[in-house]
Structure 1
Amino acid sequence: MSWKTLIAAACLVAVAPLTHADDLVGQTEQAQQQAREHNQAREAQFAMTERELRQKRDELKATRNALETETEKLSDTFSDNEQQLASLEDKLRLESGSLGELFGVVRQASKTIQTDGVSSYVAITQPAFNQTVSDIVAADTLPSLKQLNALWQGMLTQMQTSGELQTVSLPVVNAQGVASEQAVVRVGNVGLVNDQGYLNWQADRQVAVPYRAQPDNTLTTSTLEQAVSSVGETVLIDPARGTLLGQLENAPSLGDRFAQGGFVAKVIATLLAVGLLIALYRGAVLLSIHAKMHRQLKHPDTPEDNPLGRVLKVYHDAPQRDVESLELRLLEAVVDEQHGCEKGLSMLKLLAALAPMLGLLGTVTGMIETFQVITQFGNGDPKVMADGISMALVTTVLGLIAAIPLLLAHNILSGQADHIRGMLEKQSISLVAEQAETTDNQAAIGPTA
């Protein structure tokens, strides 16, 4: 390396610190200037931020005041709404209760109409109304206004048509069980009438069946036409809508009552018939004997074929007998005639005693059958036990009915027989007394002669 190079290097080394120092001073001044500018910028930013914050604070204060004002208004509105809501709730409670009561009344009325519709004759011509009633009864919610209007209109129509006569075509079942369409007259809401009389409307089968038993002067279409055409004409109706006619149909006749007694009733009736025949025959015989004896009293010297005549014949056949023999003969004749007069009365008395015993037998038999039915089916349905009880009661009544006239006939005939016996005894005593007087007179004349 040359010396020039070394001198240049030494000069550079000597000048380098001075340059670096100047650079540092410049940099420091520049940094300070930048710091001042930065600080000024920050101060300006802080000032602007402060203004913004103040502005936002003022806005927030205004918003707060507005919110506080609105809150107060809302509080007042809430209080008013609460009061109004409480009032509306009370009103809703009252109206809901009234509506619930209305719905209950409507359902109850619908159930009543549906129940009455089974026996109602007006409902036959109102199938739509019947369906509306069924829908209201089966519904779990409030009925609609349409249903309420239909219910009201249907009830109004029923009330109007219940006082009218209307000819309708319905299936009617005849005695052979065949249904055919016939024109029948609906008499308001109390019955259906055709040419034979009243009809029983069976709603489950939708057919009309004639009642098996019709009342006297029953209402028919012809009598109804005459009643409508004439003034003041009265007709026979069933206001119970078939209930009374059904009871008339269920009321047993005398033959039905007798049939309920069974075999025992037939035996009692046979005893009664036999007893009455015996009573009638013996009564006729005793009346004839009584009449013949009265005729015989007018002609005692000519004995005829009657008890008194036979007693007189005993007296006339033995005029020379002593008093004791005559008395015994007459007593024998009176006893024979008494047996003839009382013939059949013992049988009549026996039949009169047997009749209530047979009735008691039928009663016991009927009660046994009743208890058997109770054992098999229970006692929940009285109709199941009706046959046995009917047999028990009917046989008891028949036994009493048979015993009463038989006992009465026996007493009457016994009285007549006693009366005849009394007449015979009286005449026998008279004859004995007459014979005794004759004997005494002859005995008195003999010694005198």
Structure 2
Amino acid sequence: MKNRVITFAFSAILGLALSAPATAAESVSLDELLQQVKRGRVADAEENRTRLQEFQRNRANQQQALADLKAERAREEQRSATLEARFATNDEEIIELERALQERLGDLKELFGVLQQAAGDARGNFDSSLTQVQYPERSEWLTEFAQKMGSTNRLPTLQEIERLWFELQREMTESSKVSRFTTTVVSAEGEEQQREVVRVGLFNVVSDDKYLEYVQETGRLVELARQPQSRFTNRAEELFEADSGMTAFGVDPTRGQLLGLLVQAPSLIERIKQGQIVGYTIITLGVIGLAIALWRLLILTGVGAKIRSQSRNLEKPGNNPLGRVIKIAHDHPNVDVEGLELKLGEAILKETPKLNAMLPFLKIIAVVAPLLGLLGTVTGMIITFQAITLYGAGDPKLMAGGISTALITTVLGLCVAIPMVFLHTLVASRARRLTQILQEEAAGMLSERAEQQQTAGV
């Protein structure tokens, strides 16, 4: 109480000091402050007296509440002892009942265990089956059925056993059918669409001319990003449009695994890209060589036609290799055989380079292409060995890039070199044949000039 009075007095003094005005008329005297402290002490004493009387009045009530709580605790302790005794009795009764149940079950216990295992296996098979798209509710039922039997040891009812039998029989029946139904299909662009699909047993599902695959995680049919060859997609379209009868169709016996690998298999363009700069160089040389070979074949064909036409009219030399050779003989009618032979040989030598033009370049391409392929092979193997050095040989995918480069460049080099050898041989043989015609006609003209000179000498 003393501390409270001191605190009150200090607070009053502090309040007066903070709120006191500057004029002396409004200040509070010490006597007034003393009276205020005295009045506060009297009020505190009165409050404490009132609280003490209230506590004394409630003391009897608190003692009665304590007695009531002790009585309630005693009753609850008695009830707990009764429940414990009943629990022990029930536990013994349950043990006896379970023992009697196990004795009565006998061989049925093993049967129910096999039934539970069959339900679990069926659920796993159904989840990965194409028929799951048509009958999704069976998976939920099998899950609940297996959980109930496993967690509560509840015996299956006759209706549940017949339902399991029905689901197994329906799966076997549907595996031999070609069914048509409407379901959600995810397109190659990722859009969900309601489409009519045709399921071929447990093997494949098609829609129009597209093969679909079943994604177990999402429970959706997804259109393959890359479809098989046209001969298979055409058969799929025929099957989709057929109403009855027999239709040829390409079936994937692995239930979509081979079709799924088509997404990972690179196309022709992707394989060419694996050859990188060496592969592009080989292809460029092949295109250039093919263009040169076709160009030379066209030119030699035209020249050959002119030469054959000229060989039937030796009196009027034209603007072609044989005509120019004949013109040499006509321009020198008085030259002896030896001199004419030299002049004709010189003319043939002038025409030969024109006929053999670009042949060396074709031969160079035929030789360089496999060498570039070998260069790409070596480069790819270097990349492979670097990957092995850095990451080891545990993951084949790390080495796949270098091996692909090595093999693709070799294939490209051979694919360019082999046709170039044939084209070079074809063009060279055509030019050699024309040169041979020039030599034959020149030999004929020399023989004719020799006969004329012999006749004139006689």
Query: What is the TM-score of this pair, normalised by structure 2?
Result: 0.65
One-letter identity of the residue aligned with 1:337: E
Q: d(CA) in 2 for partners of 1:154 and 1:142?
A: 23
- The one of 220, 236, 256 aligned to 1:242: 256
Instruction: Indicate if the aligned counterparts of 2:180 and 2:196 stay in contact, CA closer than 8 A.
Output: no
Match of 2:273 in 1: 259
Unpaired stretches in structure 1, ≥5 consecutive residues: 1-91, 445-449
Once the 2 structures are TM-superposed, how far is the Cα of residue 324 of structure 1 from its aligned partner? 2.5
Match of 1:174 in 2: 187
Q: Deviations over 1:306-338 (max 9, x none)?
A: 111111111111112233322211111111111
Match of 1:200 in 2: 213
Q: Deviations over 1:136-184 (max 9, x none)?
A: 69x99997643993654532332234345263533x3233324456565
Q: d(CA) in 2 for partners of 1:248 and 1:420?
A: 52
Q: Bigger radius of gyration, 1 or 2?
A: 1
Once the 2 structures are TM-superposed, how far is the Cα of residue 428 of structure 1 from its aligned partner? 2.0
Is 1:337 equivalent to 2:351 in the alignment? yes
Instruction: Indicate if the aligned counterparts of 1:197 and 1:218 stay in contact, CA closer than 8 A.
Output: no
Match of 2:139 in 1: 129
Q: d(CA) in 2 for partners of 1:131 and 1:377?
A: 48
Once the 2 structures are TM-superposed, how far is the Cα of residue 119 of structure 1 from its aligned partner? 3.3
Once the 2 structures are TM-superposed, how far is the Cα of residue 235 of structure 1 from its aligned partner? 4.7
Once the 2 structures are TM-superposed, how far is the Cα of residue 192 of structure 1 from its aligned partner? 3.4
Query: Once superposed, what is the RMSD of the aligned Cα atoms?
Result: 3.6
Deviates more, 1:364-373 or 1:378-387: 378-387
Instruction: Indicate if the aligned counterparts of 2:129 and 2:202 stay in contact, CA closer than 8 A.
Output: yes
- The one of 88, 106, 120 aligned to 2:129: 120
Instruction: Indicate if the aligned counterparts of 1:114 and 1:134 stay in contact, CA closer than 8 A.
Output: no
| SS across alignment from 1:169 | strand
- The one of 212, 219, 223 aligned to 1:210: 223
The within-5 A match list for 1:276-287 is 276-287=290-301
Instruction: Indicate if the aligned counterparts of 1:227 and 1:233 stay in contact, CA closer than 8 A.
Output: yes
Q: d(CA) in 1 for partners of 2:272 and 2:123?
A: 41
| SS across alignment from 1:319 | coil
Q: Deviations over 1:54-76 (max 9, x none)?
A: xxxxxxxxxxxxxxxxxxxxxxx
Q: d(CA) in 1 for partners of 2:246 and 2:412?
A: 46
Match of 1:371 in 2: 385
Instruction: Indicate if the aligned counterparts of 2:181 and 2:198 stay in contact, CA closer than 8 A.
Output: yes
Instruction: Indicate if the aligned counterparts of 1:173 and 1:179 stay in contact, CA closer than 8 A.
Output: yes
Going from structure 1 to structure 2, the CA distance change for 1:110 and 1:397 (only over 3 Å counts) comes to: farther
Q: d(CA) in 1 for partners of 2:115 and 2:339?
A: 105
Q: d(CA) in 2 for partners of 1:376 and 1:110?
A: 49
Instruction: Indicate if the aligned counterparts of 1:363 and 1:396 stay in contact, CA closer than 8 A.
Output: yes
| SS across alignment from 1:146 | coil
Q: d(CA) in 1 for partners of 2:144 and 2:379?
A: 49
Is 1:398 equivalent to 2:426 in the alignment? no
- The one of 298, 301, 310 aligned to 2:324: 310
The within-5 A match list for 1:159-170 is 159-164=172-177, 165=179, 167=181, 169-170=183-184
Q: d(CA) in 2 for partners of 1:383 and 1:242?
A: 23
Match of 1:77 in 2: none
One-letter identity of the residue aligned with 1:227: A
The within-5 A match list for 1:23-422 is 107=117, 113=122, 116-117=125-126, 119-124=128-133, 125-129=135-139, 132=142, 145-146=155-156, 149=161, 151-164=164-177, 165=179, 167=181, 169-170=183-184, 172-180=185-193, 184-195=197-208, 197-212=210-225, 213-214=227-228, 215-219=232-236, 223-224=239-240, 226-228=241-243, 230-422=244-436
Q: Deviations over 1:23-53 (max 9, x none)?
A: xxxxxxxxxxxxxxxxxxxxxxxxxxxxxxx
Match of 1:425 in 2: 439
One-letter identity of the residue aligned with 2:214: W
| SS across alignment from 2:205 | strand
Give the total of aligned pairs: 345
Instruction: Indicate if the aligned counterparts of 1:168 and 1:186 stay in contact, CA closer than 8 A.
Output: no
Going from structure 1 to structure 2, the CA distance change for 1:429 and 1:181 (only over 3 Å counts) comes to: closer
Instruction: Indicate if the aligned counterparts of 1:292 and 1:306 stay in contact, CA closer than 8 A.
Output: yes
Q: d(CA) in 2 for partners of 1:293 and 1:338?
A: 14
One-letter identity of the residue aligned with 2:446: V
Match of 2:96 in 1: none
Match of 2:88 in 1: none
Once the 2 structures are TM-superposed, how far is the Cα of residue 429 of structure 1 from its aligned partner? 2.3
| SS across alignment from 1:301 | coil
Unpaired stretches in structure 2, ≥5 consecutive residues: 1-102
One-letter identity of the residue aligned with 1:343: A
| SS across alignment from 2:357 | coil
Q: d(CA) in 2 for partners of 1:355 and 1:285?
A: 25
| SS across alignment from 1:305 | coil
Going from structure 1 to structure 2, the CA distance change for 1:401 and 1:376 (only over 3 Å counts) comes to: same
One-letter identity of the residue aligned with 2:332: A
Match of 1:54 in 2: none
Once the 2 structures are TM-superposed, how far is the Cα of residue 384 of structure 1 from its aligned partner? 4.0
Residue identity (%): 36
Instruction: Indicate if the aligned counterparts of 2:123 and 2:139 stay in contact, CA closer than 8 A.
Output: no
Q: Deviations over 1:197-245 (max 9, x none)?
A: 332121123332101215322536x953x433x3344555444321232
Going from structure 1 to structure 2, the CA distance change for 1:264 and 1:110 (only over 3 Å counts) comes to: farther
Instruction: Indicate if the aligned counterparts of 2:293 and 2:423 stay in contact, CA closer than 8 A.
Output: yes
Instruction: Indicate if the aligned counterparts of 2:275 and 2:409 stay in contact, CA closer than 8 A.
Output: yes
Going from structure 1 to structure 2, the CA distance change for 1:380 and 1:162 (only over 3 Å counts) comes to: same
Q: d(CA) in 1 for partners of 2:282 and 2:440?
A: 41
Going from structure 1 to structure 2, the CA distance change for 1:326 and 1:211 (only over 3 Å counts) comes to: same
Q: d(CA) in 2 for partners of 1:111 and 1:273?
A: 62
